[in-house]
Chains A and B, each alone.
Chain A
């Protein structure tokens, strides 16, 4: 069974994000970019499935600028077999991404697609679910554990009240939550090997998908700032202060 793992190039999660002075967006110039952390978990899960003999091939897809090739290489160094880069400039909304991925799924016929539950830039949390709907496939979002059966997958999901287990028929979509696994660091030999793995280059037009954003971003602003308050000296004083302001 082939496993497809879509990945996104995003601002590294350790970077302090700065809003541009003209409020047109976030400053991306000279900022460290990385593989979206949830997608990295997706790559790790797919590679583990291959190592366990449950997956035959792991294909990584990224939709973004030419530089998104770096994130594909990272995934290849972790153990994915080959990559597909769909070149698109600017913001590509989740629905357009899902449409491109649908076309790729139809061509590649994966048995399982593993995506991150959300990208840490736009925090949309939509693409996996949209892809599932467009394909008419079942989904298991926010995966905590994943177990493949005979034509099915049993997935424990992180939900508001605890954990929920669902069983879905394959082919299916799984989106990762934080604790599905701990992604490996690629070893130097594997990083070298990854340089030789194939990356196929495409454009959104190859899939006849219009990637023009439908939502109009009017502005991007700083959130309201919170002022630091006062320091208290003892726990008793803390309780008294909280009582004084009516917080308890």
Chain B
């Protein structure tokens, strides 16, 4: 039969997480359809139709889906479930929110945050904050899966699927979206940035994050933070990298004033290159860093910036 991928988007742009989830879905070996649920999301459906491996895009255009509120998403996906063997969503805060509802209603277990597909019914997923990797086999029946997108390479934009409009499943009337307060930075998003520079408790204040901003601007990097920095109120929650925040795997991760608690390492240790600046040479972050600099960050960061300027950034 067929696999269905639920698209992640902001109604205007299809998120990279979708292309990675499609890549995971194609590994199941069955044809792949994508569901785009949102408001005025024609452009998103168009982008989804170009992903390699996608056979058909289903477009449910209704304001009720604009913020992917869990209850209407559940109703919509359940209405389609009979046609699919597997339903996959990226393990974003949206996917994590609506998918278990679908699994429960279908009376099947959900397989959360898969990192790899070993066979169409066997998957690898992290447990204990990534300190162990579990290989699990799903029973016969429908598979409900969320995908840790750092485990998969995005499907390329070489496809040409058809787009079919489908009916909305309507409002359930038990929940409603009120407001959203999104961080605006003009920088790449953490989960898709090629370079990330993150600050920890060592930054000492939110104002000091401007030191990282300057480097981020030079390198077109995203700015992240450890839980300690978010808890201290230096930066908003959406900066958090770690097991319970965002899991990232950029080409380069620069950890500044971050000691490297296991929960933080779980969120970034799959980065290709890790650089760390910390004044404590015993900091666990150095055990995973390719390049470590034991130094006072308030001296090192301006020097690092000056060297970047000299190198032409």
Chain A residues engaging chain B, CB cutoff 8 angstroms: 11, 13, 16-17, 19, 26, 93-95, 98, 117-118, 120-134, 136-142, 144, 154, 157-169, 177-179, 214-223, 226, 228-243, 245, 247-248
B252 & A242 in contact (Cβ 8 Å cutoff): yes
Query: In the complex, what residues of B have CB within 8 A of residue A248's CB?
Result: 195, 219, 252, 308, 311, 313
Provide a sorted-by-A list of 5 A–B residue pairs whose CB atoms are within 8 angstroms: A26-B128, A161-B180, A239-B311, A247-B275, A248-B308
Chain B residues engaging chain A, CB cutoff 8 angstroms: 10, 67, 69-71, 74, 92-94, 96-105, 107-113, 122, 126-139, 172-183, 191, 195, 219, 227, 230-231, 236-238, 243-244, 246, 251-252, 262-263, 269, 272-275, 277, 286-295, 299-301, 303-304, 306-308, 310-311, 313
A241 & B291 in contact (Cβ 8 Å cutoff): yes
* Contact flag A215-B93 (CB < 8 Å), given A19-B132, A138-B71: no
B132 & A222 in contact (Cβ 8 Å cutoff): yes
- Residue of A whose beta carbon sits closest to that of B292: A231
* Contact flag A220-B231 (CB < 8 Å), given A125-B100, A129-B97: no
B137 & A159 in contact (Cβ 8 Å cutoff): no
Say whether chain A's binding surface is mostly helix, strand, loop, or mixed: mixed
B97 & A141 in contact (Cβ 8 Å cutoff): yes
B175 & A179 in contact (Cβ 8 Å cutoff): no
CB distance from A146 to the nearest CB of B (A): 13
A239 in complex: contacting residue of B92, B93, B307, CB < 8 Å? B307
Tell which of A121, A131, A216, A247 has the most Cβ of chain B within 10 Å.
A247
A166 & B137 in contact (Cβ 8 Å cutoff): no
- Residue of B whose beta carbon sits closest to that of A226: B288
B291 & A162 in contact (Cβ 8 Å cutoff): no
A139 & B70 in contact (Cβ 8 Å cutoff): yes
* Contact flag A162-B180 (CB < 8 Å), given A95-B103, A231-B294: yes
Query: In the complex, what residues of B have CB within 8 A of residue A215's CB?
Result: 109, 111, 136-139
A166 & B238 in contact (Cβ 8 Å cutoff): no
Query: In the complex, what residues of B have CB within 8 A of residue A234's CB?
Result: 293, 295, 300, 303
CA distance in complex: A16, B109 (Å): 28
CA distance in complex: A139, B237 (Å): 20
B238 & A159 in contact (Cβ 8 Å cutoff): yes
B132 in complex: contacting residue of A159, A163, A223, CB < 8 Å? A223
CB distance from A96 to the nearest CB of B (A): 9
A218 in complex: contacting residue of B69, B122, B237, B275, CB < 8 Å? B122
Ranked 6 nearest A-B pairs via Cβ? A229-B290, A129-B100, A235-B303, A130-B104, A133-B101, A239-B307
CB distance from A40 to the nearest CB of B (A): 14
